[in-house]
Structure 1
């Protein structure tokens, strides 16, 4: 690495400052673009891993499944409650039927005084009316039981659907993550060779700038425009870059990123 100092004012009237100039042959600088491309892709992969559409969909599906499970528990509890209510209604109806059967048997036998037989007749009328009321109640409970049972069946189907969708989403997420991890592994295999080709001195500067520059430490100068900040170089800046030796590592005066000169730079 060769460093030398020079004074370079950024604009007229500004106090000039001394800064160190890094020297690196063009082949090393061009490899730096390849390194930047790999690092940019690694950043893109990290962002993709954190924002997979399947991950967001899984969160929604898990919430849906939880809601369905709560509804299913409530529906099954309601079915159990109404089943106990139905059992009691059936028992009440049966008790009235048994009582009416006994009274009818006594009345048909003709045993007892006229007053007792008359009382039995009145009781049979009351029992018939009571039995009708209880049977209506039993029917209403049966209808509610059927409705709740249908609701449980619908919720069971809904849960199966959501669970299957959740399983599919998790499989898709695993596949997507596997693909990204495989690409990361490939990049990490290639990166050390590029780092070695760029050189420790240039890589150190690049990494420092990349941290401060939002992941971009070096960019191609294309048609007089910095690829880092996308600003076109002014006349003074363009002249400075044009006059700089090929092995000088030049930086953008605006974004301070390393600018790599190529045949497309328009110098």
Structure 2
């Protein structure tokens, strides 16, 4: 949901997405994905799991430190504030928490961490320590893209209008379901080759014109189409998780050929399931 602010900037009249409905849709999709992939592994692929079966994890009992417990508390607070507006009935409390949004909840968490002090009086969090772990090149790239993509909403430049005119014949010919399917395929394939943050921002720029052409609210589509931009497992550069997976080739747990073949199957399964379940539940995420 990190790019939904960009989407709203380009589509100021679009209603907010429904985070509760988004979670329900995602839960259905993820459950189906786990079941189908498990069936494929169990009855079709049948990989050799002897090493995994014989592996014995080190028996250690590591307890959370005080700092880790506080960080967990801030994280839980973030999720509660971000999700409450979708769960509460209409009223003053709902209106109050709706003012925060995802970004506001994140800012509040950072503010609390900055105010907190350790037992010896030192700050719990310092910006200089946080900055060392931030991938600044990604931040700058996304920031630049957000500025460039925001020009789509500028009527004086006419970029958004030109894009709408260009894609209108295609969208009208394949319809709403076809457009959704094409965007899912493009997003999933692209995110396994390019940086997923880049793909996510680019997808946000075309959802408004596509939905506007078909006369439907774009909020649910914008929310759900973030998911394909995160399913990056094919190449080491696709995501940190994929990089860690390829790192296991040096330990002999898996080889690159197996990763590519299994990942390709999972990607195809994801595309099919997401098109069917995602399109069927898109109205849960936004109207």
TM-score range, shorter chain: under 0.3
TM-score by length of 2: 0.20
TM-score by length of 1: 0.22
Larger strand share, 1 or 2: 1
Structure label with greater radius of gyration: 1
